[in-house]
Structures are given as structure tokens and as C-alpha cells.
Structure 1
Amino acid sequence: MPVPRAIFEQIKKLIPPLDGSLHKGQSVGRVGVLGGALDYTGAPFFAAMSAQRFGVDLSHVICSPTAAGAIKSYSPDLIVHPILREDNSLESVHEELQSVLSRLHVLIVGPGLGRESYMQKYAKTAVSIAREKGMFIVLDADGLYMVGETPAIIKGYRRAVVTPNVVEFKRLSEQVGVDPNTPSEKKAEMVSRKLGGVTVLQKGPKDIIATDSTGDEASLEASKLQNSDPEFEKAKEVIEVDVQGGLKRCGGQGDVLSGAVGTFMAWGKCYEDGAFGDHSIPASRIPLLAAVGGSMATRTTSRLAFSKQGRSVVTQDMLSEIGKAFAEVFGEHPDVKL
């Protein structure tokens, strides 16, 4: 089942034009990835580098000093902030996070985060700051573990997307209280409802993107105030993406997806701020559109990488296919009128 044409055309409106009219930093977005502990350096790199390859202006990685050296060595294109020290005070890290996040449009939380208490504590702090600033947020991997343990950290914040795989989705749906007898095709929207309208990108043989804020009036009212969106009443949507992907699911593909979704959200923030576009898309739709666009692009990237590498494909192979995949899905230079 193809993505509805109307949705596809709205996604294309979020893509900044490459016509020379916009200067560096004005419209292509600045993305931050919070993650990277001692044993996990690849995941934040793949998320941040994928965002760079999809077309953001700058990618920042906010990580532990134990991961910073490795991540810096992977690419000089990334800006690395080794501020998540285990022995730092929360007040000190809070101040540094405030400074870094003030420069960003989107925060991706979870790739390589780990479950150490200090990393989880700093992640919660970062999400709170991002919410205060009205940033878009993507939560994946151990960021989802944080959400499951403390749903209030993100509940009712409709500028967020969660991207669980099969195992993560099962755990998260149980943690937020979805009835296990709910039909499988309805569970994504139920998780969204339990989280107060947060967009859910349920990864699988086909990706299901759902948003439903109809069942929690308290979260609905809070989210109305947070988003100030005149078209907020469009509160429930479910989109399936069955674009062909690669036949091998390599570890790290989810990080590429996080980077892709984060890219579209960064563009959406620039669109919302008036850098380009016709202002016809309300802010409340940007997370859903970003999730659909990121899913389509990532699945196509996976297919192209697999077609070259076959059984030996690894996530690193996907990075060089991102540009081709984007052009295949959305066109080389999508027509976005100013």
C-alpha cells in the first residue's frame, strides 16, 4: 500500500530548496544526538552522520568523554561534545546542555546511550530542556527504555517521535499499559494514545506510523498549550510504509532511521520558523510527516546497500547510498516554492 499522495506531497514541502536562496545554517537544520557511552560509539555516529548525509547543516554528538575520542575519529564532519561525565554534577551538565541545545533544532536521544544511571539521568535532563525550548525530539534505543521507565518525561509532548523495533515496542506497549489483547494493527496508535499523542514509528516488515491524542484529555490540553497549533484537532492518523527494504536487517539501521527522522524534523523546524515554504503545514503534523519520510528514505537506503553488498552488508555501507536513496524517493531537487 503506497503512502497517500497527499502525505507525500506534504513531506516534500518540508525539504529545503537547493536554489541558492538560503545561506548556511538558515534552513537545512542542526541536529544533536545524545548518546555514546563507553561501549557504544557506533550508534551515535551512525545517527549523526546519517543526518549529515541526508542534508542537515550540522550534526552534534553529545556523549561521555569515554566515547568522544572514538566518535571524533570516525568523521571530522561531526561536532562532538564530551560533557556527559559520570563524576560531573547535574547542575554543571545542565548548564552545558542548555548551551548546546540552544544551537539545535532537533534532539535525538538514545543511540548508544546505555542504561547507566548517570547517562539516563542526563538524558532526562536533556529532554526536559528540549521540551522547554519547544524542540523536536526523536527517542530510540535506550531512550525508549527511559520513556518506558518514566513515561511522564515525554507524555503529551506532540513534538516527539519514538522509534521502537519489535522487542522495544513490545516492552514499551506493556510499560505504558496497552491491553495485550489489542489487535496488533491497532497497538501503535494505542501506544501513541497512552503517551498523549506522541508519534509512534513502529519498525517491522512494514513500518507503522501512528499518532492518537484522542484518549487522554489532560495530555491533549497540555499539548495544545505547548504547541499553540490552530489545527491541533487533527488528532489521529495511521500511515503504513511498505517501501521495499534490504533483505538483511543489519545492526545500526535503526540509527540511520533516527538520523533520517531527525533530519526531516530539523527541516520542519526551519519550515515552522519561516525560513522557507508556504506555511500551510501545521506544526503538529511535522513529527508524523518526518517519521513517514524518514521511514521511506531509510528503507530505500537499505535496499540499495543490500543490492550492492548482499549478505555482507553492514550499516557503514548504507551511508554512501543515502543520497541516491533520497533522490529516488523524493527527486534530486524537489520543487519547494518559497
Structure 2
Amino acid sequence: MALPDWVDPLFTADEMRAADSYAIDEAGVPSLDLMERAGAGLARVVAAAAEPGRPIRVVAGKGNNGGDGLVCARILREEGREVDVLSLGDPAELRGDARANLGRLPGPPPDPFDAARLSGSGAVVDAMLGTGFEGAPREPVAGAIAAINDAGVPVVACDVPSGVNASTGGIEGDAVRAGATATFHGSKIGLHVAPGTFHAGRVEVIEIGIPREAPGGSQAGLICDRVLELVPHRRRDGSKFKSGTVVIAGGAAGYTGAPCMAALGAQRTGAGYIQLAVPHSAQQAVALRVLEGVTRGLPEEDGMHVPDGVTDVQELAERAGAVILGPGLGRSDGAREFARAVARSVEAPLLIDADGLNAHIDALETLRERKAPTVLTPHEGELARLLGIESAEVAAHRLKYARDAAERSGAIVVLKGDDSLVATPGGPVAISPGATAALATAGTGDVLSGVIGALLSKGVDAFAAAAGGVLAHARAGKVAATRLGADHTVAGDVIEALPEAFARSGPG
């Protein structure tokens, strides 16, 4: 599957090397010109970030990243700024374009790196390690990273913060924490995937003269507004059923809020008809919260779903555009069997969240047997349980494990987070352009399930529905945070902000 046109492509390190090679070998662009433009763009970002009246320190490595830093230092000196170049190696060992730019540097030559020199800087430029770096930084780079992070001054990274894997966002050891990153030609995957994204700061893409026809990014991209153009409007000649019918199965005793949040999120996304399948004892509580929905009480044991309720869900799903399984489901043996049977039997597009996911521990591969689209929406802990690994391992390698889960399940996998990843089985990954701390509160995951479920019910392709839901949900969180403050936003506020997140012109 190729990258869809509703993402902006991102580059791996290998893809960036291919673009560089095309520019130099096929298009005849001198590599020295590429470095000059990169360094000039870096200098612009540094000049904007630096505190006035204080010296700028460029910490330069031995490769082309260091060469970009030397160009940056030259341009800033030519503009009259005080710039010190601190070298992590012997400048005499520089080769190629980096060596050429050392010869062009006016003023004092580079000094050996000294951590004490960073104090009082107007800005520090991290020009140590480039996009090709993998693994844990070794000395002297590791010590320089620690010193830069401890300096308490503005930091600008050259192409990618040193220590961050440009292709994955992974970090082994330590990495520079930058306030801004000037990256060249196209943004890199690792600048938008945690933990790397939390080290990149504001990312600014610098055009360096690589032709448009050069090979591009093909594995991942940032979700952009174009995905929301795929969401159909309600029609004047339509009906509640044509606007999207969603069935939500969950809501055990004590957890009735979760299916309600999903239902209200689906309604605000535009679904026309919501049916909630909950245990008998929860039916009244749910009905009072979701006035525009229809509830059905299912067989239960101690307030939890049991397999006898599967037939009811199958019946409801026959006319549904999508089924959401899991919000507030609970973890009893009966609920687990209920969830597995629902997943096996319903023929509508299915979104599985929360305890619906926990029900598939040791059974993830069974979802491959489904013929209709399936979307899974785990957070890191849920994905870790599904894959039988530790949460910390998922957190450190989010891209890898989102892809693994998609491949094993045959489903679209939304690994939730500030950088929510939408992975396809063996195909591309769509990445959220960033959310807000306002979403770090109970119930917002249920709202996301409702949003994606509503888009599925309207016939939107599962990959686009998941990505569009992630984007709209993040936007709604930002709208709510602007109104109320991130610390004071609750899931209901995100629901109320969804119309603004989706706002666009269209037929009435």
C-alpha cells in the first residue's frame, strides 16, 4: 500500500540518503551547495532562537552534520554575531565538504569542546550526529549531550537532535533536548514519534535544492487536513440511518461512563443513529446519559456481559455501519468470551478498545480471520499486554510495535499518545501532527473510539477513518484546552469541541 495523499511524507535515514544521492549523482547538484543551503537555513533558525547579546556556541561533530554547523557559524559571524565553534574531534581529521567549510570559516578556529563554555550562551547549536546515527552515543558525544542538556540555554538541533534515531524516534542512552530543530529537505520520522518528538522541539523544514523528482518518503507521513475532506456530509434527502449507524457494546456495572463517552463522541462526529448494548443493570444509567441513543439491556452476571448476549449484538450489527467493542466492558471470564465471540461473528467494520483489547490477549491473531475492516485503539499498556511484552519496551519502540501488532492482527492499529500512530498491516503509518496535554484525562480514549466508529459507519476507509479520527480528536482537545486550559479539560469538553474540529463548508 502506498502512502495516501492525505499525509505529508516523512523520511527515514535511508530515504534521505537516496534523495541526497539523486540530487548529486542524477541532477548534478554539487554536494557543497547542499551543505551551504543547509547551514544557511540552520543559521536563520539559530538567529531567531538565540538570546540577544550573548555568544552562540556551535558544537560540531566530525561528519557532514558538523560541516552544516561550520557553515552556520560562518554565516552568523559574517552577520556580526559572536560565535564559538567547539569541536568534538581534531578538526584536521575533517574530510570532504566539512573540511572545505572549515577552510572558509572566518575568525578564530574551532576550540576543543569544553562543557564550561556552554554556560551563558545565547544559543547552543547541536551539530554533532546526523540522520545516519543509530545506537547509543559514545564519548565524547555522550558527555557533550549531557552538558548541552544541563546548560539551561536555548538549543537548536541540526537536522535531528543528536542521539535520536531519525528513522524511528528511538533513543538508546541520552539525546539532546532541543527547543527547535532545523531539518533538511523533508522532515524525518523520528522527529514526530516518541520519544524523539519530545526532544525535537519546533521542527522547521529547510529547502536545500534537492529536486522535487528525487525519491521521497514512502513509509510514514503526518496526517493532514486533507483526510477530513473524505468525511461525507449529511444529505437533505438522507436519514438517520444513512448518516451512520453505530453499535456500542460495553458498559459493565461501575463503568457506564465509557460507552456514553463513545456514544456522545460518535454523535458529535455526525453519526445519525447510536445503539448501546449494555448489561441489563446498566441500561437505565446509560439511557439517562445518552438521550438521543437507543439502549438494549443484555444478559449479565454480576453486572458483566456474558456470551448469551452475543446474539443481541449480532442482531443490532446487521444494520450497523460500525460496531465499537470494549468501552467499560470489564474483565470477567464471561465478558472476555462475549468480546471474542462478538469479534468473530459481527460482519460490520469493528473497532476494539479498552477491555475488548484485553479480551484478545493470547488471541490477537484470531482477528485476521475477520473479513470486514478492524481497528484496534490501544494505549501503550494495552498494546504491551497484547504482545506479551513490557510497557516500557513499547514506549521505547512505538513505531516497531504498532507495526508488529498491525501485522499480527491484520487490523489497523492506533497506538494512542501525543504522537498517535496509525499503522497498517505491512504498509504505511500515519502519524498525528501532535495533540495536547488536555487529552491526558479519563474518558478521552472512549471519545476517540466514538469518533473513529462514526467515521467507519459513514463508509470512510478504515485507514482514513482511524487517521481522521486521530486528527479531529487532537484538534478538539486543543480547542477545549484553549477555552478552558489543559489542566481543566475533561472528556465532555472534548466532545463539545468536536464540531469546531470538523468545521468546514458544505451542503446543509
2:355 aligns to what? 142
2:247 aligns to what? 32
In structure 2, relative to structure 1, the CA distance for the partners of 1:248 and 1:21 (3 Å cut) is closer
Check if 1:193 corresponds to 2:369.
no
2:263 aligns to what? 48
In structure 2, relative to structure 1, the CA distance for the partners of 1:334 and 1:204 (3 Å cut) is farther
| Equivalent of 1:127 in 322, 335, 343 | 343
3-state SS of paired residue (1:69): helix
1:231 aligns to what? none
Instruction: List structure 1 segments (4+ residues) > 3 angstroms apart after TM superposition.
Output: 5-14, 87-92, 179-184
2:475 aligns to what? 300
Check if 1:163 corresponds to 2:377.
yes
1:325 aligns to what? 501
Task: Please report how far the alpha carbon of residue 194 of structure 1 lies from its aligned counterpart in structure 2 after TM superposition.
Answer: 1.6
The one-letter code of the counterpart of 2:385 is: R
The one-letter code of the counterpart of 1:194 is: R
Distance in 2 (CA, whole Å) between partners of 1:182 and 1:299 is 22
Task: Please report how far the alpha carbon of residue 247 of structure 1 lies from its aligned counterpart in structure 2 after TM superposition.
Answer: 3.8
The one-letter code of the counterpart of 1:117 is: D
3-state SS of paired residue (1:61): strand
Distance in 2 (CA, whole Å) between partners of 1:54 and 1:180 is 30
Distance in 2 (CA, whole Å) between partners of 1:91 and 1:123 is 8
| Equivalent of 2:311 in 95, 100, 111 | 95
| Equivalent of 2:294 in 67, 70, 79 | 79
The one-letter code of the counterpart of 1:189 is: R
More helix as a share of residues: 1
1:104-119 map, 5 Å: 104-119=320-335
In structure 2, relative to structure 1, the CA distance for the partners of 1:81 and 1:167 (3 Å cut) is same
| Equivalent of 2:233 in 3, 6, 17 | 17
Q: Does the 8 Å contact 1:62/1:84 carry over to 2?
A: no
Deviations 1:246-294 (A, max 9, x none): 44511111001000111111112xx6xxxxxxxxxxxxxx211111000
2:458 aligns to what? 267
In structure 2, relative to structure 1, the CA distance for the partners of 1:97 and 1:246 (3 Å cut) is same
Name which one, 1 or 2, has greater alpha-carbon Rg: 2
In structure 2, relative to structure 1, the CA distance for the partners of 1:313 and 1:90 (3 Å cut) is closer
Distance in 1 (CA, whole Å) between partners of 2:438 and 2:324 is 27
Distance in 2 (CA, whole Å) between partners of 1:184 and 1:103 is 36
2:282 aligns to what? 67
Distance in 2 (CA, whole Å) between partners of 1:91 and 1:188 is 30
TM-score by length of structure 2 reads 0.52
Distance in 1 (CA, whole Å) between partners of 2:339 and 2:319 is 17
Task: Please report how far the alpha carbon of residue 91 of structure 1 lies from its aligned counterpart in structure 2 after TM superposition.
Answer: 7.6
3-state SS of paired residue (1:82): strand
Distance in 2 (CA, whole Å) between partners of 1:318 and 1:183 is 29
The one-letter code of the counterpart of 1:208 is: L
In structure 2, relative to structure 1, the CA distance for the partners of 1:290 and 1:64 (3 Å cut) is same
Task: Please report how far the alpha carbon of residue 10 of structure 1 lies from its aligned counterpart in structure 2 after TM superposition.
Answer: 6.9
Task: Please report how far the alpha carbon of residue 13 of structure 1 lies from its aligned counterpart in structure 2 after TM superposition.
Answer: 5.4
Distance in 2 (CA, whole Å) between partners of 1:305 and 1:189 is 31
Q: Does the 8 Å contact 2:307/2:335 carry over to 1?
A: no
The one-letter code of the counterpart of 2:320 is: L
Task: Please report how far the alpha carbon of residue 200 of structure 1 lies from its aligned counterpart in structure 2 after TM superposition.
Answer: 0.6
3-state SS of paired residue (1:316): helix
In structure 2, relative to structure 1, the CA distance for the partners of 1:258 and 1:181 (3 Å cut) is closer
Greater mean alpha carbon deviation, residues 93-102 or residues 67-76: 93-102
In structure 2, relative to structure 1, the CA distance for the partners of 1:101 and 1:18 (3 Å cut) is closer
The one-letter code of the counterpart of 2:403 is: E
3-state SS of paired residue (1:114): coil
Q: Does the 8 Å contact 1:127/1:153 carry over to 2?
A: no
The one-letter code of the counterpart of 1:210 is: A
Distance in 1 (CA, whole Å) between partners of 2:358 and 2:228 is 32
In structure 2, relative to structure 1, the CA distance for the partners of 1:85 and 1:238 (3 Å cut) is same
Q: Does the 8 Å contact 2:403/2:423 carry over to 1?
A: yes
In structure 2, relative to structure 1, the CA distance for the partners of 1:67 and 1:210 (3 Å cut) is same
3-state SS of paired residue (2:271): coil
Say what the alpha-carbon RMSD is for the aligned residues.
2.9
3-state SS of paired residue (2:328): coil
Q: Does the 8 Å contact 2:249/2:313 carry over to 1?
A: no
Structure 2 gaps of 5+ residues are: 1-5, 10-220
Distance in 2 (CA, whole Å) between partners of 1:10 and 1:4 is 10
Distance in 2 (CA, whole Å) between partners of 1:257 and 1:186 is 23
3-state SS of paired residue (1:76): coil
1:245 aligns to what? 436
TM-score by length of structure 1 reads 0.76
Task: Please report how far the alpha carbon of residue 172 of structure 1 lies from its aligned counterpart in structure 2 after TM superposition.
Answer: 2.0
2:448 aligns to what? 257
Task: Please report how far the alpha carbon of residue 103 of structure 1 lies from its aligned counterpart in structure 2 after TM superposition.
Answer: 2.2
The one-letter code of the counterpart of 2:435 is: Q
In structure 2, relative to structure 1, the CA distance for the partners of 1:96 and 1:244 (3 Å cut) is closer
